[in-house]
């Protein structure tokens, strides 16, 4: 009799653990550049491409990602970053894969989300904020050159602080 009860209890605990590991996961990404409906659409498309759902509050620069589990939520965060969006995450991580070399550089090609004139204005403001950096993005062009004599890591950090994820290339 005790074995039967122990077996049933073991099955119930196993089922409960499986249900718990399959629990829905929510991640918020704050301080993301979302200046226009096109930004919202692009961010939503990135999250959905990873099989998750996005609730985007453009006015608050906040994206709430809902996924089947933590791994799927992380995939959605990764897809969002790959699409050029950055922010502060409530859980999970944003990997530093900008490709920026250490120290000073004289030229880098930078790629990020740039769907409209507001994005372009924000991007150009970021470039000007980095000592020694010069360059100007053109509207709707995702890749642009940043020249001068500046610290590449400072440039990436400035873009991240403005809500943009970037990829750099010499």
pLDDT digits (tens, 9 = 90+) for 35-66: 999 999 999 999 999 999 999 999 999 999 99
∠ Cα 18 19 20 (to 5°)? 90
Going by pLDDT thresholds of 50, 70 and 90, the confidence category of residue 15 is very low
Query: What are the tens digits of pLDDT across the range 133-153?
Result: 999 999 999 999 999 999 999
- Whole domain around residue 54: which residue ranges? 23-89
Supply the CATH number for residue 45's domain.
Answer: 3.30.70.100
Q: Tell me, yes or no, whether 108 and 139 share the same domain.
A: yes
Annotate 3-34 with b (16+ C-beta within 10 A) or e (fewer): eeeeeeeeeeeeeeeeeeeeeebebbbeebbb
Number of folded domains that form the chain = 2
pLDDT for res 9: 46
pLDDT for res 4: 47
Q: Tell me, yes or no, whether 126 and 74 share the same domain.
A: no
Q: What is the pTM of this model?
A: 0.86
Q: Tell me, yes or no, whether 78 and 27 share the same domain.
A: yes
Over residues 20-47, the mean pLDDT reads 92
Q: Tell me, yes or no, whether 121 and 160 share the same domain.
A: yes
Sign of torsion, CA 156 160 164 166? positive
Sheet holding 167-169, edge to edge: 133-134, 143-151, 104-111, 167-169
Residue 95 falls inside a structural domain: no
pLDDT of 126 over the 80 cut: yes
Q: Tell me, yes or no, whether 114 and 59 share the same domain.
A: no
Q: Tell me, yes or no, whether 117 and 163 share the same domain.
A: yes
Going by pLDDT thresholds of 50, 70 and 90, the confidence category of residue 1 is low
CA separation for the pair 103, 14 (Å, rounded): 52
pLDDT for res 22: 61
Residue 131 falls inside a structural domain: yes
Residue 1 falls inside a structural domain: no
Of 35, 56, 89, the one marking the end of a domain is: 89
Chain mean position to CA 51 = 15
């Amino acid at each position: 009799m005790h074995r039967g009860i122990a077996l049933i209890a073991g099955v119930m605990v196993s089922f409960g653990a499986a249900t718990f590991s399959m629990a829905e996961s929510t991640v918020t990404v704050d301080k993301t550049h979302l200046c226009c409906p096109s930004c919202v659409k692009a961010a939503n498309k990135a999250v959905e491409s990873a099989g998750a759902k996005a609730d985007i509050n453009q006015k608050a620069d906040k994206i709430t990602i809902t996924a089947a589990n933590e791994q799927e939520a992380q995939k959605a965060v990764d897809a969002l970053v790959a699409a050029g969006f950055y922010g502060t995450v409530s859980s999970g991580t944003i990997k530093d894969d900008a490709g920026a070399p250490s120290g000073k550089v004289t030229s880098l090609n930078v790629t990020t989300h740039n769907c409209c004139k507001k994005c372009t204005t924000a991007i150009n403001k970021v470039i000007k904020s980095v000592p020694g950096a010069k360059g100007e993005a053109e509207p709707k062009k995702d890749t642009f050159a940043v020249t001068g004599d500046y610290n590449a890591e400072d440039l990436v950090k400035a873009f991240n602080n403005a809500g943009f994820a970037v990829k750099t290339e010499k």
